[in-house]
Structure 1
Amino acid sequence: MDKNKARVKKWLKVFQYLAGYLVAAWTFLQFVEWILDRYNISPYWVDIFLWFFVGIIPSLLIYLYHQDRINQRILKLREKIIFPLNLVLVFIGLYFGFGTSDLGATTKEVSYLDAMGELNETTVTKEEFRTQLPIFNFTNLTDDEELNWMGEGIAELLFYDLLQDKNITPDQNWAENTTDKVMESSFISDIYVDGEFEKKDGKFSITSSIRSSKNGAVINSKTFEGDDFLDLVDEISHFIKISVDIPETNKLQYIDLGIKEFVSTSVPAIKNFVRGNYEEATALDSTFALAYLRSSRRDITYSKGKIDEQALAEKAYRYRERLPYDMQMEAMANRYLAYDKFDEAKELVEMQLEISPQNRFLNNLLYGIHGETKDIEAYFDTAQKRFEASKSMYNIENMADASLVVGEYDRYIQMVDFYSKLNPRNNFIFPYKLVPELLKKDAEAAKETLKKTKLLHPGQDNINAAFDAAVTFLEKEETVDLNYFEGIYRSQLSEALVKFWIVEDRLLYHYSNQTIETTMPTGKTSLVVGMPNGFTGEYEFYSDKNGIAYGAKVTENYYNGGTNVYWIWKLDDSIRKAEEHLLNEDYDKAEVAYQEAITKNPNHFYLKNTLQHIQYVKSIDSLDLQKQFNDVVGLYSKEGVENTRKLFVKDGKLMYKREGIPSKQLLPISRNRYMNLNSLRLHFEFDYEDDEAVASYSLLYDAETDKWENYGPELNYLYKEKK
């Protein structure tokens, strides 16, 4: 009994010492946290000390219980083993838990260019210490569908506004229900933002909620009411910033421009901006720099036409001082891209990414530049660096694509399996295994994945059929000569160049200003690019009499069931030489060069049209040509057709413009027929009465029949408006 009492007394003493240890450790941690916060040092040190103090408790308990003996330096074998083993295990655990963490300062010095191109230095929060913040659309509580745009508008404006604060990395998302919001946000953050709004009696009421990404529960919420929609968004942005867990010393460190300052003061202009109607947005606000920038980026990404790409890029550059620093740099880099100055654009983008490494607009620019320069290693390194810092859906997709490009097929499959386990009920993840399985030539696995995809996604017949062909061809185990496909092709839809090139055993693909992709054979002379659950492009190549590919029929399949069919045409030195002479308006040399190009490329329909243009321009007096242009200048419209055709002369050139469609220079083939170098398959004709144009219509080239067709006289035949 006495021994039991002594043992209990001894344990009570041990727990008293342990309580004192915990109090002292907690006090020490509070002091360390204050020091770290005060001098902007990594907060991971608090966690390291915490787990160290907790980790050595087993050894501490043994020591406290036997301290009389141990203080006399009498240690038993078990203690000689447990004490060092405990420390080793603690240090190993800390290494694996924090070995890759930045344990230095939370800020760093970086260089940047201001709006005037002057080099400056500033201090920014390191990427690792920024708060990831997914933002979802706000819900419209009214029955007024005209207000639906505000749901996305609030989220988009908050996204742009919060981009200014380098303590936060906002990420705009489009999931609608709580389950999907939790699924998407839990990858990257502990919280996410959504909300709801309504308008009554001319007043807005917007409720913004900060929610847990674990279960969607509200952590903090506030309702904002007022007459001015844009001012309310600014207030919500401020509420989010003070609600997010940011070290006190970092708060309010960055310039915070108001929505009206860097976006627009016009709500109608912003409404069109959110809907992607950038042309209408800038018509309502001629200094809308962000709309010019987004419009130019869209035109460059899809190669809609150098005329508008450069004009819009110049507008964004002109009004760039209205924008925050990130967007100013983007506007400057975008201007270089509009003129194909990739090195200069890359230098600016990489510099700004030191400040804003997760800015997807800047990263898109960089990925596009890597594609233009075929730099697959830089593409992979950029994607990997972004992915390691943030597991956003945007970074996941880029990391996955980059893994395929460099041949890391198993890494891609592991990523799909990992995210499938995190979201076992999400049937949109597993189909992505199909592409790496095809590239690995694992026919059985690919066949099984495709079978399951068809079962769970029957509405994607057009996309599934493209992969059906790839699986069927793989099962035949036939070899494919990748050299057959290699080359640079010109799209007949736009000014885009499509590149195919070989790296080791892979045929890579790049569409102008977009990311690099991998291709999968569906036959000896056919390919497919793309992914399940999204988009595929089927390429059916055609050969000349020597068996050399001269072009391809492209069938694009979209998730909504839609398709788009067009052709791409292979370029060679003779075509490039001819185009250069035409660009320089050296018609004598151009005529000879195009005749040579036609001889070498007899299937390229547009070369013959271009030669007709050259010969016509050479045959007509310059004054007569200008008169011909002036005869067709004007607006062409028709009742029931919304967009009018506008034809005008600029710098002696006949230009065509229609709302929502890029500007085109029309090149005369004859008195009443014109071609353009923007969309090769599109021609324009005019009807005359008494030597004056009275109507216009367009023709589309059908490569299957080798004929030009009027694609819709009811909407296509427009009448010239009288002055």
Structure 2
Amino acid sequence: MEQMENKKPKFLKDLFDRRFPQIIFIYLGICWTILEFVSWIVEHYKISPYLTDLSFITLMSMVPTVGMLAYFHGRPGRDEYTKTEKIGIPVNVIITCCLIFYFLGGKELGSATTEISVVDEAGQRIQREVPKRLLMKRLAIFFFENESDDPDQDWLQYALMAGCHYDLNQDPIFSVYSGYDDVIYQKISSAGFSDQLGMPMALEQKIAREIEREYFLGGSFKTAGDTLIVSTYLYRTINGQLIAENTFRGTDIFHLMDEINRRLKEDLQVPAWHIAKTTDLPVAETITKSIDAFRQYILGLTQMNLNNDLNTARKYFEAAVSADPTFALAYYSLYQMYINLNLYDKALQSLNVAMQYLYKFPESVQFAVKEEYYLISEDPEKRTAVIDMWVQLYPDDIRGHFRLANEYLRQFKIDEAINEYNKILAIDPERKYYHRYIGDAYLIKGDFNNAVEYYKQYQRAFPKDYRSFMAFGNLFLVMGKYEKAKSYFTDAQLMEPRDITLMTLLAIVDQRTGDFTEALKKLNQAEIAAATPVEKHLVYSVISDCYRERGEIRKALEYSLKMAGASEEYQKTIDVVTGQIDNNYFGLYAMLGQKKTALEQLDTYRKTLAKPW
């Protein structure tokens, strides 16, 4: 025992004689200095943020080599290299290289930007330096809760979200969904929060995860006299980790939104060099300086996006441009209202005013405005050029590629759409959910083998996602393998029992196998469960098809009329009419011998659709 106690001091003394701890601590101090320096460089210069990770992995993994050198060569005087060093140091270097390859293989370690040169729709060449994909931030913003006792401030619940969302359009590294987006609203409505207020944070996280957002932002506000006090929270979606909580005070709502976004960029560690080079005009400059105009606009947006009440929304938008005749965004919304209310001349006038103030829009929104302008002006070449320019100017912006892919799908250019989806995966391999999009495209094309392969990749990435089972079910349904389709749909329904789409798909399987009684039984259950206009539209459509196939044309017409009524509750007029045409709605009248009614219906479609439709 005494010998062991004597050995400890001798061992420690030996380490200090060899200057082992001194050298290790000096090395760790140098590492800290290097990492701080690299972090500063990454923050202030256009260098990949992965350079910090590279430095950390390299420096930390080489500690064993430093330890060996310190132990065998720390004493004063010359020492020969030992066998331990000759084997240990090369092994340490190899392990370091393996770690770098494992953690950073395929990562962009060079410049964080790329130079782009394109020709716009006017034939002018544009050169731009744009950020690469590694800087992208995917965010969902939810409505802010009104914690004051003043119901007159309720509009701010929507205004704070909408203003922050629109302002972030100026920054190309942000991809943002807000509560006004249909993809979020339908999920919230299905969860029983039709006005989107009072939502639990767990639901916000669930929705953010389902729409593949990395972060989600929300908050609340109250008043103290004339001062508005806004509290925000920012969470990481994947693990529910709180990133930051902030409080902002002020009397100017526009300035408060500027401050919220400024702090958001800090909390998400957006590099200083990117912030310095990116256009970031105040909210008051890109939207409006008039509180009254902004309030009217927000009330209109709420009626349009949440209630689908276009006539009421139109009145609010008209009041907004009356309060501020330079309110470009409100004019663009008015254009959308007028075109869907079949007021073509007013729509064109509003779009022309929006184009007059095009400079007030963020560039990404300018692309959307110009695309609509060239659509309404019947200039498809310039319209296509705008989309192409968007993709070329922002080659690592998946939003542009996704928009182009959708355009290709509309034109039934399936191979081109698949190519755009593959570009998205090349830009960001972590977005594995695009395997499902590619599988769907191959399914449309009739290439079942490739569809199966991509659905398998999607299922491996998301084994607990019911949509992977639904995708396989759709595949086998198209292939006519109804038992397999039913099996996959049933498995999906076990994961998501309230999903109306799955109910209708199981009914379609019964319909295809000739069991109309069971199909209608399932569809009646789906009709009872359907809560939103979207769900009702889907159920009525399938029921109508079922009755049509059975030859019960009057019943088919009855549900086609119900389907049309449901679509009017959430779709724009153009979408309602084109949907009825696709459904061969007027053909049912012809089948019943009501040819005059069928022709009158066709004439109604012709009068309803404005130019260029």
TM-score, with normalisation over the residues of structure 1? 0.59
Q: Please state which structure has a larger fraction of its residues in strand.
A: 1
Equivalent position amino acid for 1:380 in 2: I
Give the equivalent residue in structure 2 for 1:408: 451
Give the equivalent residue in structure 2 for 1:418: 461
Q: Deviations over 1:367-421 (max 9, x none)?
A: 34212432223322323433565699xx776652233212433433443453355
Q: How far does residue 268 in structure 1 lie from its aligned partner after superposition?
A: 0.7
Secondary structure at the aligned position of 1:123 is classed as strand
Deviates more, 1:252-261 or 1:111-120: 111-120
Give the equivalent residue in structure 2 for 1:251: 275
Quick check: 1:431–1:449 contact (8 Å CA) kept in 2?
yes
Q: How far does residue 193 in structure 1 lie from its aligned partner after superposition?
A: 1.8
Quick check: 1:107–1:123 contact (8 Å CA) kept in 2?
yes
Which protein has greater RCO, CA pairs closer than 8 Å, 6+ apart? 2
Counterpart-to-counterpart distance in 2, 1:177 and 1:261: 34
Cα 1:185–1:337 change in 2 (3 A) is same
Correspondence list, 1:168-567, <5 A:
168-172=174-178, 174=184, 176-185=199-208, 191-198=215-222, 204-213=228-237, 214-217=239-242, 219-226=244-251, 228-264=252-288, 265=290, 266=293, 267-276=295-304, 277=310, 279-284=314-319, 285=321, 287-293=326-332, 313-339=351-377, 341-356=379-394, 362=400, 365-386=403-424, 389=427, 400-406=436-442, 407-416=450-459, 418-421=461-464, 431=470, 434-436=473-475, 438=477, 446-454=485-493, 459-460=498-499, 464-470=503-509, 473=512, 538=542, 563-564=563-564
Q: Deviations over 1:650-670 (max 9, x none)?
A: xxxxxxxxxx85799xxxxxx
Q: Deviations over 1:450-501 (max 9, x none)?
A: 224445655555751334323774899xxxxxxxxxxxxxxxxxxxxxxxxx
Equivalent position amino acid for 1:217 in 2: L
Q: How far does residue 75 in structure 1 lie from its aligned partner after superposition?
A: 4.3
Cα 1:95–1:295 change in 2 (3 A) is farther
Q: Please state which structure has a larger fraction of its residues in helix.
A: 2
Deviates more, 1:308-317 or 1:120-129: 308-317
Q: How far does residue 271 in structure 1 lie from its aligned partner after superposition?
A: 2.0
* Consecutive unaligned residues in structure 1, runs of 5 or more: 477-530, 544-552, 567-659, 665-675, 682-698, 711-723
Give the equivalent residue in structure 2 for 1:107: 113
Cα 1:81–1:122 change in 2 (3 A) is same
Quick check: 1:463–1:535 contact (8 Å CA) kept in 2?
no
Counterpart-to-counterpart distance in 1, 2:176 and 2:46: 22
Counterpart-to-counterpart distance in 1, 2:414 and 2:396: 20
Counterpart-to-counterpart distance in 2, 1:533 and 1:6: 83
Counterpart-to-counterpart distance in 2, 1:148 and 1:430: 42
Q: How far does residue 51 in structure 1 lie from its aligned partner after superposition?
A: 0.3
Q: How far does residue 53 in structure 1 lie from its aligned partner after superposition?
A: 1.6
Q: How far does residue 256 in structure 1 lie from its aligned partner after superposition?
A: 2.3
Give the equivalent residue in structure 2 for 1:601: none
Correspondence list, 1:606-685, <5 A:
none
Counterpart-to-counterpart distance in 2, 1:104 and 1:128: 11
Q: Deviations over 1:161-201 (max 9, x none)?
A: 01212354434354632223334556967643211124677
Equivalent position amino acid for 2:204 in 1: K
Counterpart-to-counterpart distance in 1, 2:314 and 2:402: 22
Secondary structure at the aligned position of 1:209 is classed as strand
Cα 1:438–1:360 change in 2 (3 A) is same
Give the equivalent residue in structure 2 for 1:705: 592
Equivalent position amino acid for 2:221 in 1: F
Query: Sequence identity of aligned pairs in percent?
Result: 18
Secondary structure at the aligned position of 1:54 is classed as helix
Q: Deviations over 1:502-557 (max 9, x none)?
A: xxxxxxxxxxxxxxxxxxxxxxxxxxxxx9999586595999xxxxxxxxx89999
Secondary structure at the aligned position of 2:462 is classed as helix
Secondary structure at the aligned position of 1:409 is classed as helix
Counterpart-to-counterpart distance in 2, 1:47 and 1:19: 21
Q: Deviations over 1:696-717 (max 9, x none)?
A: xxx998345243669xxxxxxx
Cα 1:206–1:456 change in 2 (3 A) is same
Quick check: 1:141–1:197 contact (8 Å CA) kept in 2?
yes
Counterpart-to-counterpart distance in 1, 2:363 and 2:13: 67
Q: Deviations over 1:100-125 (max 9, x none)?
A: 22222223333467998754333333
Q: How far does residue 67 in structure 1 lie from its aligned partner after superposition?
A: 4.2
Counterpart-to-counterpart distance in 2, 1:259 and 1:26: 40
Quick check: 1:115–1:329 contact (8 Å CA) kept in 2?
no
- Is residue 32 from structure 1 mapped to residue 57 from structure 2 by the alignment? no
Cα 1:245–1:455 change in 2 (3 A) is closer
Quick check: 2:15–2:71 contact (8 Å CA) kept in 1?
yes
Secondary structure at the aligned position of 1:42 is classed as coil
Quick check: 2:297–2:330 contact (8 Å CA) kept in 1?
no
Quick check: 1:349–1:362 contact (8 Å CA) kept in 2?
yes
Counterpart-to-counterpart distance in 2, 1:346 and 1:555: 41
TM-score, with normalisation over the residues of structure 2? 0.68
- Is residue 56 from structure 1 mapped to residue 84 from structure 2 by the alignment? no
Cα 1:95–1:445 change in 2 (3 A) is farther
Secondary structure at the aligned position of 2:103 is classed as helix
Counterpart-to-counterpart distance in 2, 1:80 and 1:532: 70
Instruction: Please report the RMSD computed on the Cα atoms of aligned residues, expressed in angstroms.
Output: 5.0
Give the equivalent residue in structure 1 for 2:525: none
The structure number with the bigger radius of gyration is 1
Quick check: 1:125–1:167 contact (8 Å CA) kept in 2?
yes
Cα 1:91–1:22 change in 2 (3 A) is same
Counterpart-to-counterpart distance in 2, 1:167 and 1:256: 13
Equivalent position amino acid for 1:280 in 2: K
Quick check: 1:290–1:323 contact (8 Å CA) kept in 2?
yes
Q: How far does residue 95 in structure 1 lie from its aligned partner after superposition?
A: 1.9
Quick check: 1:701–1:709 contact (8 Å CA) kept in 2?
no
Cα 1:38–1:205 change in 2 (3 A) is closer
Secondary structure at the aligned position of 1:251 is classed as helix
Counterpart-to-counterpart distance in 2, 1:554 and 1:79: 85
Secondary structure at the aligned position of 1:197 is classed as strand
- Is residue 161 from structure 1 mapped to residue 186 from structure 2 by the alignment? no
Quick check: 2:470–2:502 contact (8 Å CA) kept in 1?
no
Give the equivalent residue in structure 2 for 1:8: 12
Counterpart-to-counterpart distance in 1, 2:54 and 2:66: 18
Quick check: 1:268–1:281 contact (8 Å CA) kept in 2?
yes
Q: How far does residue 221 in structure 1 lie from its aligned partner after superposition?
A: 0.7
Cα 1:680–1:99 change in 2 (3 A) is closer
Q: Deviations over 1:118-149 (max 9, x none)?
A: 54333333331244433222123357777555
Secondary structure at the aligned position of 1:120 is classed as strand
